Amino acid sequence: MASKKTVKLFYDVISPYSWIAFEVLIRYKQKWNMKLVLKPMFLGGVMQAADNTPPAFVPSKGTYMFQDLHRLGKHFKVPIKIPKNPAEVLFQKGSLQAMRFVTAVDVSFPESTENLSRELWLRIWSRDEDITQPDSLVQAAKASGLNEAVITDALLKMKDNSIKDKLKAITTEALEHGAFGAPTIVAEVNNTDQMLFGSDRFHILADLLGEQYVGPLTELAKSKL
């Protein structure tokens, strides 16, 4: 069998489109000859560095986005529900603390990154729950299967400069690949990095990898309310 081709997913749990890409790529790990590397980044840093404007800042785009997410959630079987106050969630509370927490876990226990990220998405984009306060992070971590010792360690480490610098480094790595938003997907093909943006390029990714995209594989869905 040919060696697996590496696909990197740069994401932030503040982004519902990233959630879709995350779930679909995890499903396709079972179908494609692909090594998926999760790369938690800080979307706010990417948007600022790329001088990009969130779509919700444009009224017509914002209206379309929330309608679009409803349809996409149903199509991909990802339980997306729009928060009651999206502006507060997206632009006032943000995701910096959550992504530092994910980074702290990812550094020490990368095998737990998938489940923790999913639980944070479920909190913010399914149940309209907080992801900024320590108690919220603890609840998400417990739901993901992490034990008390690991959770306490991550809460302490997320305040360290080493973790803050790690998150900045991954964010910078995304920017170096040409990122301007999330999700950003980078496929290593023939020693060349190919960057794709968004959750609607799976067929193109399949072409790059020499694989076949056969739809959302909803039978393999892991995200449930």
Helices (H), 77-95: 86-87
Place of tokens 């999700």: 183
Contacts of 29 (CB under 8 A, 6+ apart): 36
The CA distance from 39 to 174, in Å, is 9
Domains of the chain as residue ranges with CATH = 5-220 (3.40.30.10)
* pLDDT score of 224 more than 80: no
Please, are residues 154 and 140 in contact by the beta-carbon 8 Å criterion?
A: no
Please, are residues 225 and 49 in contact by the beta-carbon 8 Å criterion?
A: no
pTM: 0.96
pLDDT tens readout for residues 62-89:
889 999 999 999 999 999 999 999 999 9
- Give the model's pLDDT for residue 80: 97
